[in-house]
Chain A
Amino acid sequence: MSPRPGFVLDVDSSTPPTLFWHGERFSLETLPEGSRVIYAPEPIDPLRDPQAAIRHALTHPEGDRDPLPALLFSGMKLTIAFDDISLPLPPMERPDIRQLVIEQVLDLAAEAGVDDVELIVALALHRRMTEPELRHALGDRIYDAFAPNGLLTQHDAEDPDNLVFLGATDQGEEVEINKRGAESDLLVYVNINLVAMDGGHKSVATGLASYRSLRHHHNPETMRRSKSFMDQHKSELHSSNWRMGRLIRDAGVKVFQIESTLNNDTFPGAFHFLQKREWEWKAKDRLGFVAAAAALDRVPARHARKIFHSVRAPHRMTSVQAGEVEAVHALTTAHVWEQQGVVVEGQTDILTMGLPYISPYNVNSILNPILVACLGLGYFFNLYRGKPLVREGGVLIMTHPTPWEFNPVHHPSYIDFFEEVLSETTDPTVISERYEEGFATDPWYIHLYRTGHAYHGVHPFYMWYWCAHALQHLGAVIIVGGDAKAVHRLGFRAASTLADALEMARDVVGTSPTLTHLHAPPILMADVQ
C-alpha cells in the first residue's frame, strides 16, 4: 500500500480531540467544529539500498559536473564540508546520512590517491559540535581517522586567517567564506535537506561564510521580503544566496554538491502515535499516548527534556543526488515537496500550532523563549507556498510552556539579548540598527563561539529576524500555557487555555473566525491556493 498524501480534516462533532505539542509534553485539545487540521503525508518509501543510491549519485552527477571519481586526483586538495547538528531533527538513528555519504567520498578519494583531505563542519555562526555529536554524525571510524590529526575542523567565522574574501555581488553583497574550502581543488558539500529552505547555494554561501557575508541576507528587510523563506522562488534570502553562490562559482571554487532528502518517519516506537492521525489511533497508540503523557507529567521538565533529546528519529533516505549545485537542488526540492506538500484551500483567521521541544538551534539543549518565537513565527509560520496559512491581520496561537530558561553554554548571548534588547523593543528593524553590531563584534561572545559551544553573539538577532515576516503579517500572537513574563517580554500575549486564547483571538479577528491547526511535526509544507 502506498503512503497516503497529506490531508486537511474538517472538524465535526465526531472528530476526536487533536494532539497539540506543548514543549516536552502534549495535550489533547477539542477544536471548534468547522476548524481544519492539516496533516502531513505519511512517510514515503525510503530508498531500498541507500549505499547503492549514493554510489550511483556520485558516479552519475546532475548538471554540468563530471562524476566524482573523475574530479579526484593524486596531489589534489580536497575538502568535504557537511551540515552541522541543526540537521536533521530529531537527530537520526545511526548511521547518519553524512557518515554514509562521506565514507563513500573518502573511499573514492583513497582510490584516487588523494592525501590532502580535510573535513569541515559548515557551522556558519552556529555552535561548535561536541565530540559525541561529531561521532554520531560521522561514525567513529571517520572521527578517529581525522579528528586526532586536526583534519576534522569546524568552520570558524571569526578566524581571519582562515577566511577569504571573494568579492561582492552586483547587489553589493560581500562574499567571504572559509579559506580552506575556497582554495581546495574540490569542495564537496554533504547536505541533509530536511526542509525546502536548506541546501542549494545556501549550503556553501551561508554554511561556510562569515558575519561580514551573512549580514547581507540575515536581516529584517530580507526576511520580510522572503514569502516564504521555505519557497526558494519567492525568497529574497535565497535570491541573495544564489547571487553569492554564483559569485563563488565564478571565483573558481569548484563545488560538488551532494544533497539528500529524508522521509518524515520522525518518531520511534513508543512515540509513534505522534505521527498518526488521532481518529486512526489503535489501542497501542492510545496506550502510548496515555503512558507518555502521564510519565511526562510526572517528571520535572528537565528530565522530560532529557528523554526527548535522546530520541533518535527513524528517518530514512528518500533520495540522494550529486553534482552541480542548482541542478541538484531542483531535484532535491521536488523530493522535499513530495514528502511534505499538502494542498490547502484558502487562508484562515486563526492558525494554531503546538510547538515541540526542538528546533534547529537547541539540539541537546533547551528551547529558550527566543527560540520558541523563532520556531513558531520563523519556521512553522513559513511552512507555506503561495500565501501564508493565516490571513494578514490574523492570529497565531501556539502552545508551549516557554519557560524563562536558557542554556548558558550554548546560548550566552541569547540571555543578554532577552534581558537587554527585548526589554527595550521587539521591532526587528530597531533592534538591528541599535544593537546588532555591538553583539556581533563583542569579544566575549566571539571568545565563547570560537573556543566553546556557544552560538555566535549575533545569532539571537537572526532568530528574531526570522520572525520579521510573521510579526509584520500577524494581528496578534498568543502563547497558551507559556510563562507569562517570558511571553510578554517577547511582545506576545499569554493564555492559560486554548479556549481563553480563542476568546482573546476573537477580539482581533471577529466573533466567528475560521481556524486551522498545523499538525506538525512531522513537518509539512502547506501549498495555500
Chain B
Amino acid sequence: MTRVRDALAGRRFFITGATGFLGTALVERILRSIPDSQVVLLIRPGRRASPMQRATKEILKNDCFDRLRQELGDGFDAAMADRVSAVPGDVATDGLGLDDDGLAAMSRCDVVVHSAASVSFDSPLDAAVEVNLLGPSRVAAAFVAARTLAESDGRTGPVHYIPVSTAYVAGTHQGEAREELLDANPFTVEVDWRHEVSAARRQRGDSEAESRQPARLVEFHRSAREELGGAGLHLLAERAERLREDWVKKQMVAIGQARAQSLGWPDAYPYTKALGERALVAQFGDTVPITIIRPSIIESALAEPRPGWIRGFRMAEPIIISYARGLLREFPGVPEGITDVIPVDLVVAAIIAVAGEALDHIGSDDPADAYAGPSVYHVASGVRNPFRYGRLVELVTAWFQEHPLYDQDGQPIVVPEWSFPGRGRVQRQLSRASAAMSLAERVVGSLPIRGKRAEWMAALEEQHLLADRALGYVELYGAYTETEALYRVDRLLALWDRMDDDDRTAFCLDPGVIDWATYVREIHLPSIIEHARVRTAPGKSITTNRADRARKNILSPDRHVAAFDLENTLIASNVVDSYAWLASRHLPPVERAAFVADLVAEAPSLLALDRRDRGDFLRSFYRRYEGAPVARLHDDGWDLFHHLLLAKSFPAGIARVRAHQALGHRTILITGALDFVVEPFRPLFDEIVCASLGVEDGKFTGRLEQLPPIGEARALVLADYAESEGLRLEESMAYADSASDLPMLQAVGFPVAVNPEAKLAAIARRRGWHVETWHKADGGSQPLLPLGPVDRRGAARRGRTSPAARAGEARRLAAEAGR
C-alpha cells in the first residue's frame, strides 16, 4: 500500500462542482483509485430531479465512468449507491443552502474539495461574484459548522479544505508567479472584496430597473416581432421578456469585464477568483486548514480515466473548431509565447495527493508535518514543460490538413495558414465578419424567401453565432495566449518528489510527462472533434441521418394527429394567386392585362399588409369577392384546383398527408384560404378548418363569417379538435412554413417546418425542429402569372387581334420579361 492511498482509504470526501469537468473527473478518480472511499456531493436541486437523480444522470452516467463501470461489472450500481450520496445545496447561497441532513453528511466527511466555479467567460458579474468570490468562503463557513456539529457528537469532522482556484489569479503580467498567497503578490491592486460584492449586487438592481424603462420595453417588443413576425401576442410577449433578461445579462457581463479590466484583470473570472481567495484567507485562514489548488487551462485527460476524456465544450475547443471550419482564420498570439495547458487528470491527481498528504500529516509527531497556515499549489505546465504557442499552431494546422473537416457538400475545408496577428487585428476581422453577417441577415430576413434559401439563411445565422462566439473567445482568451506570466511549480514538484513510486503511478501529477505532440495529435484533437459532432468524412451528412430519424419518428403508428397549413406548405400558392386566377378566368384579354397590371402594382402593399397582420390582410383582401356569384366560384374552385393549385403543389407534401392517413393518423387542414378553394382537398383530410364568406342572394358579401384560423387561433382549433377526439397533441405533428404558425407548431410534440421562411428557419434550427424541403414537380405547367385560361368564346367575340389586345399582350410579355 502506498502513502496517499493509505491515508485516504476509507475516507469520505465532500465535493462541490461535481457536475463540472474537473469535478466529474475527481469523483471518478476517488471512487476508482481510493479503496473504500466515499463521496458526498453538493448538488443544486433541479426542478424535477432530486440531487441523487441529478448525480446519477449527470455524473455517473458520463462516459468518464465507463472504465469504472467496466471494472465493477454488474456490481457498479450497487457500489455507487453505497459510496456516492448527494445533498441539496448551492454555493451561491449563504450556508450553502444545506439542510440539517446535509450539514450532518458534511460533518461526517474528512476532506472538502470546492471545485464549483463559474468559469464561463460570459458570466454576469453578480453571478461570478456569488460563486467565485463568495463561494470559497461559504464552503469554509459550512466546513466550520460541520466540524462544530461533529465535535458536539464527539467526532472529528472535516479536517482539510481544498478550494480550486486558477493560476490566473496571479495576473497575466510578465514574469514569474510563485505558489504563494495573493497578499504576498505585489502586482495586485488592493480592493475591499466586501465593497465589490455590494457594488455587483447593486448593479444587478440598476440594470434590472434600466431594462424596464418604457423605451427599452418597446425596443424588446420590436425585436421580438422582427424575429417572430406575427406569431401572436403571447409568444411575442414571451420572447420580449427573454430579450429583456438577455439584455440585463449582457449588461452585467459588460460591467464585470469593465470592472475587472479596470483593476488589471483580463476579465471577471480571475478577478472574482482572486478576490475569493483573499476573502477566504482573510476570514478562515486561521481557523480552517486550507490548501489552494491553482490549475492553468484545464484540457482533456492525458491518461485517466482514458486519454482524451473531456466534458463539455472547454476553453480552446470552440476556437479550434472555428479554425478548422475555416471560420476563424487567425487567433492572436505570439509564436514564442507559452500556452499553459494542463490535462485534467494531472489536476485531479494533484488534489488527491494534496489531500492524502494533509491527512497523512494529521496525527504525525514530526513538527515539519504540522499545518503552517494556508498554502498554494500551481498545477501548470509552463515552467516545467513549456508548450510554445507557435508549436501548438503548427501541430493543429498540420493535423487538420491531414484530417480536414467537411462542409455541407462533403468537400474538405482547407485550414488557413496562421500568421500570428495581434489581438486587435483579429478582433477587427471578426467584428467585421460579424457585422457583415448581421447585415446580411437583416437584408435576407426582410426578403420573402423560404425553403432551402431560408435554411441557408438560418445557417448564416448559426455562422454568425459562431463568429460572435469566436469573437468572444478572442476577446476573452486572447489575454491568456498573450500571457507572459510563468506559473512556477516548485511546491508541486516537491510534492511529486515526496511521493513514492506507487503513488506516482497511481496519481501522476508531473507536467513533465506530457509529450505535447502526442497530446495534441493523438489525444486532444481527436477527442474534441468527436465531441464537436462535425463532419469528418465526405459522404452522407449527419443531418441527413438526423432527418431520417426524425421522419421515422413522425411516421410512427403511435402518433395521433397531423395538422397541415396549406399555402407554401402543401402548395406554392397563396390567396392572392387564387383570387387572380378566379377573377381573371372570365375576363377578356384586354381586361386581363389591365387586371394583371393593377395586381402587380398592388403586390408590395399587399405583401406588407400580410406581414403586418395576417387577419387584417385576409379580411381586407377577401372584400374583393363581394358580389361574386357563389355557384360559379364553387365550380371555378375545382378548375382552380386542377389547373393551378395541383400544378403548384408539392407532391412530397401530398404524399406525406397520405402517408399519415395510411398510418391511421387523423389529418387536419388549417388554413386561412376560402372554403371553395380548399374543397377539392377534402379527400386528404379528416377535417378542414378554413375561412368562409357570407352569402346573400347567391352572392358573396365579401365579409368573413368568422375569424379565419390564423396565428394563435390555429393552435386553439387544433387543441379543440384533439380534445374533442380524445387525441394527444404531444403525439401529434404540425406542418407549417411561417413564423406566424409558431403557436400551432409549438402546440404539438412533432413540429415540422416546411420550406420555412427565414424567421421560421432560424427558429427551427435553434430548436432542432425537423425541416422538410418540398419542391413543386418540375414537369408541371408553371405559369408565370396565376391567370385563369382564356375564355375562348369571349375572346372570339371580342376579336383576339384587336390593337388593344395586342397592346395588352405586349404588356404581359414585358411583365414576364421583367421577372
- Contact residues of A with B, CB < 8 Å? 131-132, 135, 144, 302, 365-366, 368, 403-409, 411-412, 415-416, 419-420, 443-444, 447-448, 451-453
Kindly identify which residue among B638, B643, B654, B782 contacts A302, using a CB–CB cutoff of 8 Å.
B782
Interchain Cβ contacts under 8 Å between A and B, 7 examples: A131-B792, A144-B793, A404-B778, A406-B779, A409-B647, A443-B683, A452-B641
Chain B, residue nearest A369 (CB): B779
Closest Cβ of chain B: how far from A330's Cβ, in Å? 40
Q: Is B792's CB under 8 angstroms from A415's CB? A: no
In the complex, which residues of chain B have a beta carbon less than 8 angstroms from the beta carbon of A415?
651, 655, 777
A342 to B638, CA, bound (A): 48
B residues 623-655 touching A (CB-CB < 8 Å): 638, 641-643, 646-647, 649, 651, 654-655
Beyond A302-B782, A405-B777, A407-B780, is A412–B651 a contact (Cβ under 8 Å)? Answer: yes
Q: Is A132's CB under 8 angstroms from B792's CB? A: yes
Beyond A416-B655, A444-B658, is A451–B638 a contact (Cβ under 8 Å)? Answer: yes
- Contact residues of B with A, CB < 8 Å? 638, 641-643, 646-647, 649, 651, 654-655, 658, 680, 683-684, 776-782, 789, 792-793
Q: Is A406's CB under 8 angstroms from B782's CB? A: no
Kindly identify which residue among A135, A412, A420, A443 contacts B792, using a CB–CB cutoff of 8 Å.
A135
A432 to B781, CA, bound (A): 31
Chain B, residue nearest A405 (CB): B779
In the complex, which residues of chain B have a beta carbon less than 8 angstroms from the beta carbon of A131?
789, 792
Interchain pairs with CB closer than 8 A, number: 69
Q: Is A407's CB under 8 angstroms from B642's CB? A: no
Q: Is A406's CB under 8 angstroms from B777's CB? A: yes
In the complex, which residues of chain A have a beta carbon less than 8 angstroms from the beta carbon of B780?
406-409
Q: Is B642's CB under 8 angstroms from A408's CB? A: no
In the complex, which residues of chain B have a beta carbon less than 8 angstroms from the beta carbon of A408?
646-647, 649, 651, 776-777, 779-780
Closest Cβ of chain A: how far from B637's Cβ, in Å? 11
Pairs of residues from A and B, 5 with the lowest C-beta to C-beta distance, nearest first: A405-B779, A366-B779, A452-B642, A405-B778, A408-B777
Knowing that A131-B792, A405-B779, A412-B646 touch, tell me 18 more A-B residue pairs with CB under 8 angstroms: A135-B792, A144-B793, A302-B782, A365-B779, A406-B778, A406-B779, A406-B780, A407-B647, A407-B780, A408-B646, A409-B642, A411-B779, A415-B651, A415-B655, A444-B684, A452-B638, A452-B641, A452-B680
Chain A, residue nearest B642 (CB): A452
In the complex, which residues of chain A have a beta carbon less than 8 angstroms from the beta carbon of B792?
131-132, 135
Chain A, residue nearest B655 (CB): A416
Q: Is B683's CB under 8 angstroms from A444's CB? A: yes
A452 to B679, CA, bound (A): 13
Closest Cβ of chain A: how far from B106's Cβ, in Å? 64
Closest Cβ of chain B: how far from A329's Cβ, in Å? 35
In the complex, which residues of chain A have a beta carbon less than 8 angstroms from the beta carbon of B655?
415-416, 419-420
In the complex, which residues of chain B have a beta carbon less than 8 angstroms from the beta carbon of A453?
642
Kindly identify which residue among A368, A420, A451 contacts B642, using a CB–CB cutoff of 8 Å.
A451
In the complex, which residues of chain B have a beta carbon less than 8 angstroms from the beta carbon of A416?
651, 655
A452 to B642, CA, bound (A): 6
Kindly identify which residue among A302, A404, A409, A443 contacts B646, using a CB–CB cutoff of 8 Å.
A409
A375 to B793, CA, bound (A): 36
A100 to B527, CA, bound (A): 81
Q: Is B651's CB under 8 angstroms from A407's CB? A: no
Closest Cβ of chain B: how far from A361's Cβ, in Å? 13
Q: Is A452's CB under 8 angstroms from B646's CB? A: yes
Closest Cβ of chain A: how far from B299's Cβ, in Å? 46
A287 to B552, CA, bound (A): 57
A327 to B654, CA, bound (A): 48
Closest Cβ of chain B: how far from A294's Cβ, in Å? 21
Q: Is B651's CB under 8 angstroms from A406's CB? A: yes
Q: Is B651's CB under 8 angstroms from A451's CB? A: no
A13 to B776, CA, bound (A): 48
A416 to B778, CA, bound (A): 14
Closest Cβ of chain B: how far from A125's Cβ, in Å? 17
Closest Cβ of chain A: how far from B363's Cβ, in Å? 77
In the complex, which residues of chain B have a beta carbon less than 8 angstroms from the beta carbon of A407?
647, 777, 779-781
In the complex, which residues of chain A have a beta carbon less than 8 angstroms from the beta carbon of B651?
406, 408, 412, 415-416
Closest Cβ of chain B: how far from A305's Cβ, in Å? 9
Beyond A444-B658, A444-B684, is A368–B779 a contact (Cβ under 8 Å)? Answer: yes
In the complex, which residues of chain A have a beta carbon less than 8 angstroms from the beta carbon of B642?
409, 448, 451-453
A142 to B271, CA, bound (A): 94
Closest Cβ of chain A: how far from B647's Cβ, in Å? 5
A368 to B655, CA, bound (A): 18
A44 to B789, CA, bound (A): 38
Residue among B646, B654, B792 having the largest count of chain A Cβ atoms under 10 Å: B646
Closest Cβ of chain A: how far from B641's Cβ, in Å? 7
In the complex, which residues of chain A have a beta carbon less than 8 angstroms from the beta carbon of B684?
444
Chain A, residue nearest B683 (CB): A447
A411 to B647, CA, bound (A): 11
In the complex, which residues of chain B have a beta carbon less than 8 angstroms from the beta carbon of A444?
654, 658, 683-684
In the complex, which residues of chain A have a beta carbon less than 8 angstroms from the beta carbon of B789?
131-132
A289 to B792, CA, bound (A): 34
Chain A, residue nearest B641 (CB): A452
Chain A, residue nearest B648 (CB): A408
Closest Cβ of chain A: how far from B137's Cβ, in Å? 67
Chain A, residue nearest B650 (CB): A408
A406 to B683, CA, bound (A): 22
Chain B, residue nearest A411 (CB): B779
Closest Cβ of chain A: how far from B795's Cβ, in Å? 12
Closest Cβ of chain B: how far from A210's Cβ, in Å? 20
In the complex, which residues of chain B have a beta carbon less than 8 angstroms from the beta carbon of A452?
638, 641-642, 646, 680
In the complex, which residues of chain B have a beta carbon less than 8 angstroms from the beta carbon of A405?
777-779
In the complex, which residues of chain A have a beta carbon less than 8 angstroms from the beta carbon of B654?
412, 444
Q: Is B778's CB under 8 angstroms from A403's CB? A: yes
A135 to B793, CA, bound (A): 11
A404 to B646, CA, bound (A): 18
A451 to B777, CA, bound (A): 20
In the complex, which residues of chain B have a beta carbon less than 8 angstroms from the beta carbon of A365?
779
A454 to B687, CA, bound (A): 24
A411 to B651, CA, bound (A): 11
In the complex, which residues of chain A have a beta carbon less than 8 angstroms from the beta carbon of B782?
302
A322 to B704, CA, bound (A): 59
Closest Cβ of chain A: how far from B366's Cβ, in Å? 81
Closest Cβ of chain A: how far from B704's Cβ, in Å? 27
A100 to B377, CA, bound (A): 107
In the complex, which residues of chain B have a beta carbon less than 8 angstroms from the beta carbon of A135?
792
Q: Is A409's CB under 8 angstroms from B778's CB? A: no
A412 to B638, CA, bound (A): 17
A523 to B641, CA, bound (A): 37
A444 to B651, CA, bound (A): 13
In the complex, which residues of chain A have a beta carbon less than 8 angstroms from the beta carbon of B646?
408-409, 412, 448, 452
In the complex, which residues of chain B have a beta carbon less than 8 angstroms from the beta carbon of A447?
680, 683
In the complex, which residues of chain A have a beta carbon less than 8 angstroms from the beta carbon of B647?
407-409
A447 to B657, CA, bound (A): 15
A132 to B651, CA, bound (A): 26
Closest Cβ of chain A: how far from B570's Cβ, in Å? 12
In the complex, which residues of chain B have a beta carbon less than 8 angstroms from the beta carbon of A448?
642, 646
Closest Cβ of chain A: how far from B698's Cβ, in Å? 20
Closest Cβ of chain B: how far from A95's Cβ, in Å? 17
In the complex, which residues of chain A have a beta carbon less than 8 angstroms from the beta carbon of B781?
407, 409
Closest Cβ of chain A: how far from B581's Cβ, in Å? 14
Beyond A135-B792, A368-B779, A444-B658, is A409–B680 a contact (Cβ under 8 Å)? Answer: no
Closest Cβ of chain B: how far from A104's Cβ, in Å? 25
A144 to B793, CA, bound (A): 10
Closest Cβ of chain B: how far from A482's Cβ, in Å? 15
Closest Cβ of chain B: how far from A517's Cβ, in Å? 28
A409 to B792, CA, bound (A): 22
A379 to B472, CA, bound (A): 68
A86 to B643, CA, bound (A): 20
A150 to B5, CA, bound (A): 100
Closest Cβ of chain B: how far from A231's Cβ, in Å? 33
A132 to B782, CA, bound (A): 18
A6 to B643, CA, bound (A): 43
Closest Cβ of chain B: how far from A151's Cβ, in Å? 18
